[in-house]
Amino acid sequence: MNIRKFHKSDKDAIIELWQTVFADDPPHNEPSQVIEAKLRVDDLIFVAEASGEIIGASMAGYDGHRGWLYAVAVYPAHRRGGTGAKLVKYSLQALKQLGCIKVNLQIRSTNTGVADFYQSLGFSVEDRMSMGAFLE
């Protein structure tokens, strides 16, 4: 398995991956729009590939103050083999190289199973309230 930066030719495969793994995502998280919007800002999208096929992907962000980890996804058939952990570590290293010293992530309250995964990688639950607003 190889972890690398996103190439434009990966777009369709990542869209399929995210639509599969995040099938219940709201419309504002539509993968093709997310990828295009992200690439207008930076190229912190990473893919995991095995035998020439994309089996996982992650997206990171850095605003100069905090880093963020978004949309870490691995096809179910490739889970529990270290792919997700390698993607996260690769993403964190890329953020560190940019000068980032703290990384945040959010998971849905209903996705408790993934909390253990992130805790095994050094993340901890912080006493915060997450808020958001859609800009019209």
Query: Is 55 in contact with 78 (CB distance < 8 Å)?
Result: yes
Average of per-residue pLDDT values in the chain? 93
Residue 118 has a pLDDT of 94
First to last CA, the chain: 42
Q: How far is the C-alpha of 120 from the C-alpha of 101, rounded, in Å? A: 19
Residue 109 has a pLDDT of 83
Per residue in 17-50, pLDDT (tens digit) is 999 999 888 888 899 999 999 999 999 999 999 9
Residue 111 has a pLDDT of 82
Q: What are the structure tokens assigned to 46, written together?
A: 């990473």
User: What phi and psi, each to the nearest 5 degrees, are found at residue 98?
Assistant: -85, -5
Total-model pTM: 0.91
- Enumerate residues 6+ apart whose C-beta is below 8 A from 17: 54, 55, 56, 57, 73, 75
For the chain, which ranges sit under pLDDT 70? none
Domains of the chain: 2-120 (3.40.630.30)
